Structure 1
Amino acid sequence: MAIDIGIAKKDREAVAKQLSKLLADTYSLYLKTHSFHWNITGPQFNSLHNMFEVQYNELWTAADEIAERIRILDVFAPGSYSQFGKLTSIKEESGVPEWKNMVAQLVEGHEIAAATSREVIKVADEAGDEGSADMVTGRLKEHEKTAWMLRSLLA
């Protein structure tokens, strides 16, 4: 059955393309945060271990919401490491940095995801896709808040 939600196919595809970048950023940030949760050491262990757990759970839920929004637009969502690697702007960390570097990397990742969110909102607004714009506005606020909280640890 053909989709008819009031957004033209080319506009749905344009929004989904941007949402796919946000999904890749979200999943990449999820992986990094979860790895840091497992591998944190030092005097900040307990607080950061718990903080990172809250953050990776939030990112996991967000990834599902973003992927489902892509499907609502009748586009297939990316779902492999190779696809995410091509779409994300977040740098992979293959080592185990000290805690301050972990926090700095997560600040940078959330700021990147916030910038990606802004791009999605622009495209969604141009397409008349209030549903995507609304969802991503919530994501933008979450990334900005998390970046602020993490950045405060480094002050």
Structure 2
Amino acid sequence: MKTLDYLGLDPKSTEKTVDGLQKLLASLQVYYTNLRGYHWNVKGVEFFGAHEKYEEYYDDTAEKVDEVAERILMLSGVPAHNFSEYLKVSVIKETGVVSNSKEIVKEILDSLKVLIALEREVLETASEGNDEGTVALMSDYISEQEKTVWMLTAYLS
């Protein structure tokens, strides 16, 4: 028996949710890699605080990557696990070296905008399939990221 047999979810609607989660997983992986680069390359008077904050962001993103991959598995999917696949699917693109903290924050905000939109799409699809587990996960991510957006826009003001 499969997990879906016990969860009582429709395989066809779950397949759509898994597709959305795969796109989110790929985008989170590229975002994570970009955050690592920001952490390594930030320079200037804000170095200490920014360096620490970007580490916090990539640690949080690594946790989300794991949770999304596990959710895909729970829904009888197989999470992609190589960067060549992520780069084909991700809505977020790789960035080059960025050292200025304000430019980095703008890049992070642009990425969060994309992630929140993806998460809302997954939430809607999961909701249509009565997949409360995925809905709750996406809802939590959105709430957390909206607060981060607020804080980062305040930083840029």
Q: How far apart are residue 29 of structure 1 and its match?
A: 1.3
Coordinate RMSD, CA, aligned: 1.2
**Residue 138 of structure 1: aligned partner:** 140
Alignment pair present for 1:92 and 2:87: no
TM-score scaled to structure 2, two decimals? Answer: 0.93
In 1: Cα distance, 2:89 partner to 2:147 partner = 23
Conserved? CA contact 1:67–1:77, under 8 Å: yes
Q: How far apart are residue 148 of structure 1 and its match?
A: 1.9
- Equivalent residues in 2 for 1:144-155, closer than 5 Å: 144-155=146-157
Percent sequence identity is 33
**Residue 39 of structure 2: aligned partner:** 37
In 1: Cα distance, 2:2 partner to 2:133 partner = 19
Q: How far apart are residue 47 of structure 1 and its match?
A: 0.9
Conserved? CA contact 2:38–2:97, under 8 Å: no
Conserved? CA contact 1:111–1:144, under 8 Å: no
In 1: Cα distance, 2:116 partner to 2:2 partner = 33
In 2: Cα distance, 1:95 partner to 1:35 partner = 7
Provide structure 1 residue ranges, at least 5 long, that are not aligned to the other structure: none
SS of the equivalent of 2:154 reads helix
Deviation per CA, 1:71-119: give whole Å up to 9, x if none: 0000001111121112211121122342211110001101110111100
Conserved? CA contact 1:40–1:48, under 8 Å: yes
Alignment pair present for 1:10 and 2:12: yes
Provide structure 2 residue ranges, at least 5 long, that are not aligned to the other structure: none
**Count of aligned residue pairs for this structure pair:** 155
- Equivalent residues in 2 for 1:67-146, closer than 5 Å: 67-146=69-148
Aligned structure 1 segments of 4 or more residues deviating by more than 4 angstroms: none
Range that drifts further, 82-91 or 60-69: 82-91
